[in-house]
Amino acid sequence: MKTWLIALVLAFVLAPTVVAVGCGGGGDEEGSSVPTDRPTLEATLRSIAPTLDDLPSGFAIQAPGEVFTDNEEAAETDPDGKQAALDRFTEWGRLLGYRATYMTNDPVGTFMKGGTATVTVVLSLFRTPEGAMAAMEWGRGVATDTSRNMALTPGVISMEAEPMSFTSVGEETLAARFTGKIRPQNMAVQVDVDFISHMVAIRQGRATAYIIVSAIGGAEPGPEVEALIRILDARLVQALQ
């Protein structure tokens, strides 16, 4: 039974790249004092990233665990193609990204009773705030573009996306709601799983953070969405001081 839920996890590991995974600041003068060495960038991202204590009880990080994405890696799943993505990253000065996905330890119970099944977190650091602003603006154009989202989510057979009302967090906030059905691939028994996902992206200075919280079993993502995004916002402020 857990196999199809892993497929759901994989789908939403890819899906977040649509929103704002690869963005950075434009121009070097304003961001000349920003650290750009890999160890410092990784340490900064880790200081922002959530821990298991920040998540609802009963969740565990999924393989491959924490992933840091350079420009080449981030461009692989860009909806506009790799070269177009690399061109944007170069223009905007993208520095480094981070991604991790967590899944409930009780997928069967979650499916039967309804509840949050997966939480995906994506962070990005840039040279300047202008690049992060460009990231959010680009994200607004693709967050609710169903065709682009479906192209990046293996096994998704239907999906609807719409803007979602959400309290203002950080310097900018972007939120969308996804509903659809996923059919996990390479399974002996065909199972279609309905899902509802809330995506919330925020910008704080020269960084963005966003989460996709996905529920199954007829449930809607709950208060953990706002709780987690506020935790990330506070850590962004502290990390960028």
Q: What's the pLDDT at 90? A: 84
The DSSP 8-state label assigned to residue 68 in this structure reads: E
Q: What is the mean pLDDT of residues 140-163?
A: 78
pLDDT tens-place string over residues 112-126: 899 999 999 999 999
Q: What's the pLDDT at 92? A: 84
Question: Domain tally for the chain?
Answer: 1
pLDDT tens-place string over residues 201-218: 999 999 999 999 999 999
- H helical segments located in the chain: 2-14, 38-48, 71-75, 82-92, 107-113, 129-142, 146-151, 224-239
C-alpha torsion sign, points 156, 51, 74, 28: positive
Look at residue 198 and tell me whether its pLDDT is greater than 50.
Answer: yes
Look at residue 7 and tell me whether its pLDDT is greater than 60.
Answer: no
Which residues, listed in sequence order, are joined to residue 120 by a DSSP beta bridge? 101, 212
Average pLDDT of the residues of the chain:
84
- Is-contact 111 1, C-beta < 8 A? yes
Range of the domain at 14: 2-239
pLDDT tens-place string over residues 169-195: 999 999 999 998 887 666 666 778 889
Q: What's the pLDDT at 187? A: 61
C-alpha torsion sign, points 108, 210, 98, 194: positive
Look at residue 102 and tell me whether its pLDDT is greater than 80.
Answer: yes
Q: What's the pLDDT at 144? A: 80
Q: What's the pLDDT at 224? A: 94
Three-state secondary structure call for residue 196: strand
CATH classification of the domain holding 62: 3.40.1000
Q: What is the mean pLDDT of residues 54-62?
A: 93
